[in-house]
A and B are shown apart, each in its own frame.
Chain A
Amino acid sequence: MRDHPDGSRNVELIVLGVLILGLGAMLVYGLSRVISGDMTHCFEKKNATVWPTGVELAVVSVIGFAVGRLLGYLRKSRYGGPIVLSRQVDPDPFIGVGLACFLALATVLLAYETFAVFQTSGNPPPVTSYVRCAAADNPWVSEIAAFIIGLLLGNWIWYPSAKRPWRPWDKS
């Protein structure tokens, strides 16, 4: 794998930073809406998550996932081999800590979701209820957030294993 030229690496970091800041801003906006709203009734807003908003959210997420993959091809065509942390490479400690924090947060949220869906009373509301409310309250912001998350996930876990999309059996 070739080294990232400094200029390109900076561009990638800036783009990633902008995307994460954008997600953070949308999260703050969502939290401000949560404070002024009643989350216990989100489960009733089925129309907001099934049709058309629910289907739009699903489609936008899948498109984001595919764009993340295409972005992977662009990066791979510039840098060569797969971005894999081998045992010979000393990983950046900043990335390690960030990844550990991200996974810890995901675990806590999933544990909360498990506890919430187990309560048949609907209180506390599960995370899915917050998504329902977000989709009903502001579909555009929700769809942009879904696209960005899909893009990041597609680029991360579906990074191309071959250089050319039309020849996926090629080895890198």
Chain B
Amino acid sequence: MTLHAEIELVRGSFELGVEFDVPAGSVLAILGPNGSGKSSLLGSLSGLLRPRRATITFGGRELHGLAPHARAVGLLSQDPLLFPHLSAVDNVAFSPRSKGAGRAQAREIAHRWLAEVDAEGLADRKPSQLSGGQAQRVAIARALAGEPDLLLLDEPLAALDVDAAPAIRGLLRRVLAGNSTRATILVTHDPLDALALADHVLVMASGHAVERGPTREVLAAPRTAFTARIAGLNLITGTAVEDGLRTGDGRFVAGIPAKDTALGEPAVAVFAPSAVAVYPAEDGHPGSPRNTVVTAVTAVEPHGPIIRLRTEAGLSADLTPAAVADLGLEPGTPVRLSIKATAVAVYPIV
């Protein structure tokens, strides 16, 4: 079973044209800045928007001609949008009820899903009595309780505060991984969400796909300047250890592990090129950054107002043109990169 979608949409002067496949059991991240057409794309998939032309099939079933309620999609947006007049458990029971389950049966399903998202204790609360993170948990349970063929996640972590987001990200990772019959599409502007949740990524710019591929390949080695600018990340794979990660060749990378990182399990250390400081190789002062890498420059690429430096170690650094001139950087120049441990996040591998 695979979701196949070809969508063409016109809104005023904005044109969107994109086509992709999502096999059941996998997650496709659609990555792009605001205004790149991500939300219009989700609207077309859920049926809430009428595109000019759309072919959407899931395992041979044609979805594009159907009304939203008949498509078997689940939608989770950044606003939980729990029905304010229903308790948490009745919110979750809404979809089973709408699809024909009896009252008692729907409640039973709802309690099961609330337990699944660790929100069983919130069952009888009204949405106004829930925190943002709690409400998003209930909203996840509600979207999943309808057993959708297609799950659409629209920036599900964007509205959460920094304390709640990692827990919800971990929860999403768990519920997404435990399913093999559902296709999931995650729309986000945050490459970290894509990295944590998605198998594949599609990068969109002004209504069109500019790059696609396996998430880690695309994020670590963007082939287009656009992707590099919005989603380029330094990724180092290895094994999670106390306070960081150990690479296959025994190097230690100090970082902050995500909450659901298990020691000894495969993991990836992630940091933005902008978090990398560049020093001349012979400069002897290590300073406070725990991570230092001695390497040589392989490429100097301008990306709009910044210059991205690529190095032999496979890491990138973002600098201002003035800094590049000051340090006299060009391909072949030996440099020492340093990254503060607090700028490095360690995630389990999907």
Whether A and B are associated in the same complex: the answer reads no
Interface residues of A (CB under 8 A from B): none
Interface residues of B (CB under 8 A from A): none
